[in-house]
């Protein structure tokens, strides 16, 4: 596979040659007005089939890589919690199809479609589960979900396509989950408790991989990927120092804070089935997203100049490529210049289904 998509704001771009060139796939009305439309979620089954759900509830579906879209206004039934408008659904980017017709979306609501996205029905969850905020379906029946804080254990499984969910006994608390089709999963612990857990049985049992991150708040992680059963990656930022360890004691004593110990650096931690390897980058200083095709080849989205407001309007995100497992990164030249010439929309910064290097 050499084709894939990157999106951000209301813009989607695609490549068919491993990222050498890019084309505009979809450009929705942007800006700060109330008429702005963003991409709520994108799922690409392959380089040709994709579904796009917008923040206004419109569904774009394509079978030719986005050259032509079938546009519809889906209907939602059930008691799922809707955001903003009554006909749009908050799915937090969690959208997945296992066939052309069968798909799911999850965030504050869990909904299912059996007609390719034209109609969606809300799944009813047991009160103890709260909500399934992030999910992965292995096939038409079996899946794993990250539940809301109403369930301290943090994970639930389904074996009937999402109709019913059962809490996973002794499951760790997790903020994000990534799985392979074969049933290998990796989960990232919640903020400031950045443990990494893996499951080899479709999420039924979990093992702590003892991530050697710099505590209590020097390392921060934003994304995790289960690459294969012997490879897991997490990305984020090494702050250079720890506020709790290096700054707060001075402030509590009424003294001025010392200068930073070191500059912020982008951070990649990779597990090879036995040990963790730590790699940091002068550029980008923050890695926000990634996708590895295998243990060596992958893509990273990073920010050159770090600010504490990760979602501010002035962030400069760049696309990077690696062929050595992240030890070195290659900046994808002219990436932003090409997009800027086509659209004024915000810079893309999420990789839902990236191209193969």
Residue spans of the domains in the chain: they are 44-329
**Who wins on pLDDT, 28 or 209?**
209
Reported as a pLDDT band with limits 50, 70 and 90, residue 92 is: low
**pLDDT of amino acid 335:** 53
* Per-residue pLDDT tens over the stretch 44-73: 988 899 999 888 878 899 999 999 999 988
* pLDDT higher than threshold 50 for residue 40: yes
* pLDDT higher than threshold 80 for residue 255: yes
Within a 10 A sphere around the Cβ of 7, how many other Cβ atoms?
A: 24
Most confident range (mean pLDDT) of 21-30, 109-118, 302-311 is 109-118
Lowest-confidence pick of 141-155, 158-172, 292-306: 141-155
* pLDDT higher than threshold 90 for residue 105: no
Structure tokens that stand for 13 in this block: 């771009």
Burial class of residue 184 in the structure, from the number of CB atoms within 10 Å of its CB (0-12 exposed, 13-18 middle, 19+ buried): buried
Most confident range (mean pLDDT) of 1-5, 238-242, 333-337 is 238-242
CA-based nearest residue to 108, from 144, 148, 138: 148
* pLDDT higher than threshold 90 for residue 41: no
* pLDDT higher than threshold 80 for residue 25: yes
User: How far is 134 from 145, CA to CA, in rounded Å?
Assistant: 6
CATH superfamily, region 44-329: YVTN repeat-like/Quinoprotein amine dehydrogenase (2.130.10.10)
| Mean confidence (pLDDT) of the chain | 81
**pLDDT of amino acid 354:** 42
* pLDDT higher than threshold 60 for residue 351: no
**pLDDT of amino acid 70:** 92
Q: Which residues contact 95 (CB under 8 A, 6 or more apart)?
A: 41, 42, 43, 51, 53, 103, 104, 105
Lowest-confidence pick of 17-21, 75-79, 129-133, 193-197: 75-79
**pLDDT of amino acid 143:** 94
* pLDDT higher than threshold 50 for residue 349: no
Count of alpha carbons within 13 Å of 85, Cβ hemisphere only? Answer: 13
* pLDDT higher than threshold 90 for residue 7: no
User: How far is 235 from 322, CA to CA, in rounded Å?
Assistant: 14
Q: Which residues contact 50 (CB under 8 A, 6 or more apart)?
A: 5, 42, 43, 44, 61, 62, 65, 66, 353
CA-based nearest residue to 24, from 346, 342, 334: 342
**pLDDT of amino acid 30:** 67
Percent of the chain with pLDDT over 70: 80
């Amino acid at each position: 596979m050499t084709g894939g998509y990157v999106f951000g704001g209301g813009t989607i771009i695609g490549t068919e040659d491993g990222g050498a060139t890019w084309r505009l796939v979809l450009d929705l009305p942007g800006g700060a007005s109330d008429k702005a439309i963003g991409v709520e979620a994108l799922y690409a089954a392959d380089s040709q089939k994709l579904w796009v759900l917008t923040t206004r509830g419109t569904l774009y579906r394509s079978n030719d890589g986005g050259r032509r879209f079938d546009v519809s206004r889906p209907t939602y039934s059930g008691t799922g919690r809707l955001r903003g408008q009554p006909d749009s659904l908050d799915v937090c980017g969690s959208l997945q199809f296992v066939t052309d017709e069968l798909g799911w979306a999850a965030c504050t609501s869990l909904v299912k479609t059996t007609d390719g996205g034209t109609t969606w029905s809300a799944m009813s969850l047991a009160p103890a589960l709260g909500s399934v905020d992030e999910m992965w379906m292995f096939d038409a029946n079996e899946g794993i979900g990250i539940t809301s804080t109403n369930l301290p254990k943090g994970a639930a499984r389904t074996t009937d396509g999402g109709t019913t969910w059962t809490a996973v006994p002794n499951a760790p608390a997790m903020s994000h989950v990534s799985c392979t089709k074969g049933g290998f999963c990796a989960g990232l612990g919640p903020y400031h408790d950045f443990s990494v857990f893996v499951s080899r049985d479709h999420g039924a049992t979990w093992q702590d991989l003892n991530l050697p991150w710099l505590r209590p708040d020097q390392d921060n992680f934003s994304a995790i990927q289960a690459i294969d059963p012997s490879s897991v990656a997490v990305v984020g930022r090494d702050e250079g120092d720890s506020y709790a360890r290096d700054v707060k004691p001075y402030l509590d004593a009424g003294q001025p804070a010392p200068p930073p110990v070191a500059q912020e650096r982008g951070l990649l931690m990779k597990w090879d089935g036995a040990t963790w390897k730590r790699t940091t980058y002068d550029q980008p200083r923050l890695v926000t997203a990634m996708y590895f095709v295998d243990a060596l080849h992958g893509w990273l989205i990073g920010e050159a100049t770090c600010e504490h407001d990760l979602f501010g309007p002035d962030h400069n995100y760049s696309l990077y490529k690696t062929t050595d497992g992240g030890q070195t990164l290659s900046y994808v030249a002219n990436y932003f210049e090409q997009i800027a010439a086509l659209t004024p929309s915000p810079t893309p910064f999420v990789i839902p289904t990236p191209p193969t290097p």
